[in-house]
Structure 1
Amino acid sequence: MEKSEILVTTTEHVPGRDYEIIGEVFGLTTQSKNVVKNIGAGFKNIVGGEIKAYTELLTEARDIAIERLRKNAMDMGADAVVMMRFDSDSISADMETVAAYGTAVKFK
């Protein structure tokens, strides 16, 4: 099975499928902010509005976290991940951590 075939859902149930729980699974990434973009973001912070550089950073981090979640689920022998959630945190002024986590399951 390819990791792109691992179903990832935020719901508890997959309609029409029974499964057994394998266990907790997660994908994690920490991304640093670009210094040049950080300066531009500082100016945007003064005038207000969306800081697109940070939005792009978090979107990329989210995508990486899901990709790692799928790989870890595949390594566990899972067919899907249910109850997927995200968590994110600033660990310093210029670093963001994003975790995707859920429950790895095997279809019966």
Structure 2
Amino acid sequence: MIFKAVGHGRPYPEHGFSTPRDWAAVPPRQVRLDELVTTKSALDLDHLLAEDSTFYGDLFAHVVQWRGVLYLEDGLHRAVRAALQQRPVLHARVLVLDD
């Protein structure tokens, strides 16, 4: 299994980070793919196969840690690409939300 679970939607509260500039304040770190719960169940193959898929966005995936669980909010195509290349980790910006 690639991910810990495949989720549908964001179970955590709104965090206010909506632009790349907001996320830029969160330092990237490595996250294991098998620790991630996705917030999307569908993947756009155009994004997965595009060579310039990160050209206009953040180079790092966006992950929200809430109640001890890591939710992959943005970057599903990056995570699947890493898995296809047999890499068990992904570089992501992890926003920690407290209850």
| Structure of larger gyration radius | 1
Larger relative contact order (Cα-Cα within 8 Å, sequence gap ≥ 6):
1
Normalised-by-shorter TM-score class: under 0.3
Determine which structure has the larger strand proportion and give its number.
Answer: 1
More helix by share: 1
TM-score w.r.t. the length of structure 2 is: 0.25
